[in-house]
Structure 1
């Protein structure tokens, strides 16, 4: 049995057995995700599924009056547009890149074909749906019960969990969209967090965080959500439902042909990227 390509940077794909992953490999391409790019807009057909390898994407609810509020964020533990595997549908939310990165991309039709043939892929979709639902439910409660300062600290921690380093490239406009508040409110809250030394910010839209102080400023929702979602998306939990077939006779250790094919596809499409499209009303 061929080795699984461990270098894949997305947790859902990395947990798939090699044979199931092999159904997707010929149709995956690697793309760059630019900050503030809109991957899909609320009400539009989902024409691509994204499996981030780095960066952070926010799911944004856009109200008729132009106000926005975030309902969830995903990084390399999840995906964007994955629920279209259950059937063609319009996106209920707008997905916006908040921290730039890279992603593996596949068309819904190609993914749906593999989804119908693979129990492991179906389990990965179920895992993602459970984690996303858990996050959306808890965010709804947090938005109703906790202060803007505590919620901002929580969002910054969620994003920090999904990036390298302690500097987050977030504008006040992006924070306003995440929180569903005016930019004047964001300015006030940023000032308070800066006074408590939980963050440092500058005019280049960079926020440097002090993790212990930021955790102290956040509500209890952050830790509760982190533990709950970590249990859902743990590699052991994902692999437990894949029901991979028993291994066949071992072969000599050679470079995984699946990974070689994916690297070749990356080289052919490395000039492709997702460019920025702004939210309506901004």
Structure 2
């Protein structure tokens, strides 16, 4: 990871702070690049840094001996990595791996701990986000146990689309199978069905969302439940990918 320029995309949790609190917090932060497959933290180890993603997204993975890692959650610019700090716990419950490259605000654990002593509002925001994250992790566990590969894949693509700020992102069938804990053949069949219905296109590891509304009809209810849990406590998440792309283009062109 290396320092990077601040992008136009922002982090929703930081946007909930007052201008003064946000400005004071960002004095302790640096913008870093997140590269695909970077490991940001290992399970059952102490955090060194906390990350507030701006673009790109992070997978939360659980590991069982003799099995491949299973993804239980995604973190994009609606959230943060290191929310257990809200409980005073500097301990990582799961492995965190970059799944979509992008950028993030990074702050040391020591600096964030010190800042929280003087900013109870951020403490409250992190506690709310941690509750939402816990409900989403529980929903993901139930989804993995009870739902078929197709609806689970549609849900996962929607969640990735929300966080990628692009309609296209790089994902191989093998990687998808590992993340969902299923056979690669199951992903191939489910993705092929989505291509036939022109919901997505897939070429050389690049998935492109062609029809988001169709993906919504293919997904299980778990996707919308997760959206509702977030919205009820933390408000409307940051704009979805297509909306953000339009905003960025408008800024480039100098239009409001």
TM category, shorter: 0.7 to 0.9
Shift of 1:11: 1.1
1:270 corresponds in structure 2 to none
**2:203, 2:119 → 1: CA distance?**
48
RMSD: 1.9
Q: Which has the larger radius of gyration?
A: 1
Q: Does the 8 Å CA contact 1:60/1:69 hold for their aligned counterparts?
A: yes
Alpha-carbon distance change, 25 to 180 in structure 1, aligned in 2, over 3 angstroms:
same
Q: Does 1:191 align with 2:185?
A: no
**1:135, 1:222 → 2: CA distance?**
9
Shift of 1:49: 0.2
**1:225, 1:193 → 2: CA distance?**
22
Residue by residue, what CA displacement relative to the aligned partner does 1:134-166 show, whole Å, maximum 9, x if unpaired?
A: 211211221122101110100100111122232
Alpha-carbon distance change, 53 to 194 in structure 1, aligned in 2, over 3 angstroms:
same
Shift of 1:77: 1.0
**1:225, 1:86 → 2: CA distance?**
22
Alpha-carbon distance change, 207 to 231 in structure 1, aligned in 2, over 3 angstroms:
same
- What is the TM-score when the length of structure 2 is the normalising length? 0.83
Shift of 1:76: 0.6
Shift of 1:85: 4.7
Residue by residue, what CA displacement relative to the aligned partner does 1:158-181 show, whole Å, maximum 9, x if unpaired?
A: 111122232122122321232011
Greater relative contact order (Cα < 8 A, sep 6+):
1
Q: Does the 8 Å CA contact 1:53/1:101 hold for their aligned counterparts?
A: yes
Structure 2 residues without counterparts, runs of 5 or longer: 1-7, 238-256
Where in structure 2 are the equivalents of 1:44-83 lying within 5 Å?
44-83=45-84
